[in-house]
Amino acid sequence: MAISRRAFGLGLLGAAAAGTGGYLTLKDRPEFRGYLGNKAHLFGFIGGEKQAFLADPDVVHALGG
């Protein structure tokens, strides 16, 4: 019994929606914290790091500028 593309796509969409909804529902519950991983706070200044990198004459030459 073959499955159509539409049925496969809708099933995949439903599974993604259920997974996202389950994660958003369970992420703040302390009893599930070990299963979903610990929160990581990210920080940094990506733009400033790129400015110094692109100011290097060797990099500018390698990029063809």
Question: Which ranges of 2-65 would DSSP assign to H, the alpha helix?
Answer: 5-26, 33-36, 46-54, 57-62
Two tokens, residue 38: 């610990």
Total of domains in the chain: 1
Domain span at residue 32 reads: 5-62
Instruction: Please report, for residues 2, 8, 11, 16, 34, the alpha-carbon distance to residue 5 in angstroms, rounded to integers and kept in the order given.
Output: 10, 5, 10, 16, 37
pLDDT 10s digit of each residue in the chain, 65 long? Answer: 688 999 999 999 999 999 999 888 887 777 776 666 666 666 655 666 777 777 888 988 888 86
